Amino acid sequence: MSQRSCLSVILAAGEGTRMKSALPKVLHQIAGLPMVAHVVKAAEAAGAGDQALVIGHGAEEMRKAATKFAPKAETFVQEKRLGTAHAVLAARDAISRGYDDVLVMFGDTPLIDPDALTVARLKLAEGAGVVVIGFRTANPTGYGRLIEKGGKLVAIREEKDCSDEEKKITFCNGGLMAVAGSQALKLLEAVGNKNAKGEYYLTDIVEIASGQGLDVIATEASFENALGINNRAELAEAEGIWQRRRRREAMLSGVTLIAPETVFFSHDTEIGADTIVEPNVWFGPGVKIATGAKIHAFSHIEGATVASNCDVGPFARLRPGADLKQKAKVGNFCEVKQAVIEEGAKVNHLTYIGDARVGAGANIGAGTITCNYDGYSKFFTDIGEGAFIGSNSSLVAPVTIGNGGYIASGSVITESVPDDALAFGRARQKTIPGKGKELRERFASAAAAKKK
């Protein structure tokens, strides 16, 4: 089948008023990726080499976004919203190039499983003219009903056009269709708009194709595949389903999730086997975790790379550009941004490391801060191999601490420190015997005099 050419036409003109949002509906995200991008990914995974995105009038925002998640896709504008068949025809130029298979998908139906699309394409390869991906539900209200006769699909009836008898049908149109490329334009052009909504219904191609003696069939997929998003409650529902699928996949690939329902992945999270993730961990986009790492509870990680056998958290924040090499450790209440933590280095408590390198085996004491920003520009801190930074030190960048450098606790370091040097950057301590007692007595008698 892989030799068969395939175009996916994705209807992404959703206006999204029920999202109550300034953002077009299909750009709302699931797992950190616009929902329409999930649809594009599924189409690609099912072998659709080319994509046609049908967007609404004036949808510049959509076009711009599409260059990121589907740079190869062509965009077509449906000027007026006259129905789903009319929308597909906006991509006429792409369809008429001649493909073996045309997949029609909705941009607001992000959980479509590529396997369901692959099954539909197989049916086309076996000679079907139209394949509809259906699902069964106890509550079919609002969906187009699949009307079958003798195992063949003969029509799809939209809710508003259904007879009372037809309304009882629980086999519904999921909104995804595969059409033989050689028939697609002919079928779409034959669609009229004589129905309750006065729209050109894509679903009418079923009756037309069946009337022409083409083989028209329905395949069945789970309801999740057809879950259409119209408001933010459904968006959250889809997110939940996506996360559940991803957690299972992670666990089956060898990752331990102690409380899976509290761990959140992004669309592109990579995580190696034998890594253990404790409860309440968030993975934002761009995270790569190797094998055998421990991600302790309540850590927030995005844009970060964590090598094997690292230890992160609890309560750690790894921001974009954090790059932990093997066996590095970033402990509780630490933040790391745009910094390499070399092999075996330890950043254990209450520390900020930003725009920096921490050399192999270095030890960063509690409360260390790299002062990387003067309000205008960012500056780099380089900490050498095996260096020791005493607790509560401020390293004012740009600054270099040499290999084996030793910084006294509480220092403010503004000048670079050579290899193996000891640096103090704090006021010298003065201790006056008996002075504490004397002060206390003086303050107590002053307070007593006031009360009188």
The entry of ligand UD1, Mg ion, none near residue 81 (CB within 5 to 8 angstroms by kind) is ligand UD1
Distance CA 167, CA 2 (A): 39
In the complex, minimum distance from the CB of residue 228 to Mg ion, in angstroms, rounded to a whole number: 4
Q: Which of 24, 34, 47, 107 binds ligand UD1 (CB under 6 A)?
A: 107
Q: Which helix (H) or strand (E) holds 183?
A: helix 181-189
Distance CA 281, CA 295 (A): 8
Provide the token pair at 436. 């504490």
Q: Which of 175, 331, 361, 390 binds ligand UD1 (CB under 6 A)?
A: 175
Closer CB to ligand UD1, 84 or 363, in the complex: 84
Q: Which stretch binds ligand UD1 (CB under 6 A): 29-37, 82-90, 267-275, 276-284?
A: 82-90
Distance CA 107, CA 43 (A): 11
Distance CA 300, CA 330 (A): 12
Question: Token pair 């510049």 is at which residue?
Answer: 60
Q: Can 86 be counted among the known catalytic residues?
A: no
Distance CA 108, CA 38 (A): 10
In the complex, minimum distance from the CB of residue 285 to ligand UD1, in angstroms, rounded to a whole number: 25
Q: 57, 267, 300, 349: which one is catalytic?
A: 349
**Is 206 a binder of ligand UD1 (CB under 6 A)?**
no
DSSP state of 151: T
Q: 5-19 burial string, b = 16+ CB within 10 Å, else e?
A: ebbbbbbbbbebeeb
Q: Which of residues 220-239 bind Mg ion (CB under 5 A)?
A: 228
**Is 264 a binder of ligand UD1 (CB under 6 A)?**
no
Q: Which helix (H) or strand (E) holds 449?
A: helix 435-451
Distance CA 251, CA 268 (A): 16
The beta strand positions in 200-351, using DSSP E, are 216-220, 256-257, 263-264, 270-271, 276-277, 281-283, 288-289, 294-295, 300-301, 305-306, 311-312, 317-318, 322-324, 329-330, 335-341, 346-347
Q: Which stretch binds ligand UD1 (CB under 6 A): 122-130, 169-177, 267-275, 350-358?
A: 169-177
The entry of Mg ion, ligand UD1, none near residue 201 (CB within 5 to 8 angstroms by kind) is ligand UD1
Q: How many CA atoms lie within 13 A of 14 on its CB side?
A: 27
**Is 400 a binder of ligand UD1 (CB under 6 A)?**
no
Q: Which stretch binds ligand UD1 (CB under 6 A): 61-69, 84-92, 311-319, 384-392?
A: 84-92
Provide the token pair at 63. 């076009």
**Is 84 a binder of ligand UD1 (CB under 6 A)?**
yes
* Closest residue to bound ligand UD1 by CB: 144
Distance CA 284, CA 297 (A): 15
Q: Which of residues 228-257 bind ligand UD1 (CB under 6 A)?
A: 228
Q: Which of 75, 203, 309, 368 binds ligand UD1 (CB under 6 A)?
A: 203
**Is 385 a binder of ligand UD1 (CB under 6 A)?**
no
In the complex, minimum distance from the CB of residue 105 to ligand UD1, in angstroms, rounded to a whole number: 9
In the complex, minimum distance from the CB of residue 180 to ligand UD1, in angstroms, rounded to a whole number: 18
| Chain residues in the site for Mg ion (CB under 5 A) | 228
Residues marked active site are found at: 349
| Chain residues in the site for ligand UD1 (CB under 6 A) | 11, 13-14, 54, 78, 81-84, 86-87, 106-108, 143-144, 156, 158, 172-175, 201-203, 226, 228
